[in-house]
Amino acid sequence: MTMHSRLKMLGQLKDFFNKSSYDKNLQLMLNKEWLDFFQKLTYAQIDTIRKYSLLDDSKTQQEQDEKKIAQEKENAVQKSVATTLPTIEEKVTAQPQAKQAPVEPQAAMETKESYYYLPQVLAAMLPRLSNKSKEISVPAIPKWKTNLQTSVTKNSIMSRTRHILNSIATAESNASKWRRIDDLLQHIEQFPEARHHAVKDGGIRILLRTRELTKDEQIRGTIREALAVLGHVDPLPARGIRILAIDGGGIRGVLVIEMLKKLEQLTGKKVYEMFDYICGVSTGAILSAVLGGHKRKSLDEISVLYKELSTKIFTQSPLRGTSNLVWSHAYYDTALWEQMLQEHLGDRDLIKTTRDPIAPKFSVISAVVNHERVMAYVFRNYAIPIGVESQYMGSHKHKLWEAVRASAAAPSYFEEFKCGEYLHQDGGIMVNNPCAVAIHEAKQLWPNSPIQCVVSFGTGRTPFNMNTCAEDRKEASASSWKEKFYKILDSATDTEAVHTMLNDLLPDHVYYRFNPYLTEMLTMTEIRPEKISQLEQDAAMYIRRNEEKFQKAAKVIMQQKTPSQSVVDWAKLQKNILGI
């Protein structure tokens, strides 16, 4: 059957089916016939279309060549005549050239190209139609087959881990050692299960031995990070674990800065030298990150910076703040807050702060609110050792500024912070006094070491009278929903309940809690200079009244390691290096 007759037959069938009732089988047969027709049209007619286009090309090329030859002959004649009659022929030859100019340019070519533009389009389009018709019959490939190449087996991860560890052990130059250790860190980051294999295959022993034989500080810093990722913790520099915990409280963190200045004055050491573990929540998280991070500042610098940042962030017009609260559930500018955090804390990962030999272990706490239950989340600059499990969710795979941003995301003040699959809010919702969490985390790192001291700083309190009068009780029973909400919130963020429990459990010479009484309980967002000065005066008054307590705490902090402890720590280190 010829192409023309088949097309005519298909047209008649189409008219017939339009008039008749719908039948799915007939429709499928008709679709198949149309598909057959287009396939034959594609492969049968495309050659003729291309022949026409090539013929057109050859004709246009021949015309161009003929015109070019004629033009060259004419130019040659004009030049020969111009040598004899230059003055007369210049005027005569100028006119033909001007008339011939429009014939030569690209416009003539474009008009000729338009003759074979449609065949070229069809020639390019018809093969695509035929390919699409072929793709219809190709079955879909299952996902498990496409993912075979991307999946990595357990044996390949183990062999890669062993290869990297062997290359670290056999590396000779400093550059080679640094590259191999960096390869190990990237390998563990890509395949977290490689961490377990590295510890099992003696990775800690190899890294400790490499650190003993290396004097280059850059390589030693990379080794410290790798050891922290594997969960290794160096022996304590003092007699036991020294823990610092800082409560939340917004601008009232000025009180903590003043009390830390007193401890530095009594001990003659910086905060990061006095404590082995620092933990904070909300405003305490800011202080912990600045005191334990890589951009450490003095307490005087922190005090000035604290006031400047508070003034910038908490200065907000009521109209704009209310509109922000409606649209984003945040009264203050969250974008500005994030920008300031990145500027002052940097963009470094938490785990990379361990490259500094004097950096303490520290953590900040947030509250995860997109679970069935609100849960505390611990941002760490260390990894929990293999075989040990913390009671709190957490990770070291975060930026330093992200940890502070999550911990200080106070509801209605700043927007919630989404980090990975979790939605974070202010850690004070769950643990406004992080002292108990700090003790738990520190014991995961040094399970066999005693607690030397625990110093807990609060952000102020007001005297509470237990003997309330009957009228007050009557008014309280008829309080509004707003008052009830704030009372529930106040009880949930109470810091003294944790203090009461720890005060009963820990000895007096170990646990020290400092929480000044305030003339007036200020809000978290207070920025008036006279009110901030009032906070500093309250702190100074509290320090004078508790001078003896501060001196006792400083004395306990300064207790040195005994000779027997030094010998035991050295023996443990040699045991780890030798792999005994």
Supply the residues annotated as catalytic: 282, 426
Residue 302 tokens read as 């922190």
| Total Cβ atoms within 10 A of residue 297 | 14
State the Cα–Cα distance between residues 497 and 463, nearest whole angstrom: 15
Give how far Cα 514 sits from Cα of 295, 495, 550, 551, Å: 26, 12, 9, 12
Give how far Cα 168 sits from Cα of 159, 162, 202, 219, 389, Å: 14, 10, 12, 12, 29
State the Cα–Cα distance between residues 46 and 49, nearest whole angstrom: 5
Is residue 279 within 8 Å of 365, Cβ to Cβ? yes
Q: What is the DSSP letter of 360?
A: P
State the Cα–Cα distance between residues 82 and 258, nearest whole angstrom: 102
CB-hemisphere CA count at 13 Å for 98? 6
* Residue that has been written with the tokens 């919702």 in this structure: 429
Q: What are phi and psi of 378, to 5 degrees?
A: -105, 115
Q: Which amino acid is at 9?
A: M
Concatenate the DSSP letters of all residues of 213-241 into one string. H---HHHHHHHHHHHHHTT--PPPSBSSE
The alpha carbons of the chain give a radius of gyration, in whole angstroms, of 40
Q: Give the ranges where 396-469 is alpha helix by DSSP (H).
A: 400-407, 435-445
| Total Cβ atoms within 10 A of residue 572 | 12
Q: Give the ranges where 423-562 is alpha helix by DSSP (H).
A: 435-445, 470-477, 481-492, 496-505, 529-545, 547-557
Three state DSSP letters for 108-174: HHHHHHHHHHHHHHHHHHHHHHHHHHHHHHCCCCCHHHHCCCCCCCHHHHHHHHHHHHHHHHHCCCH
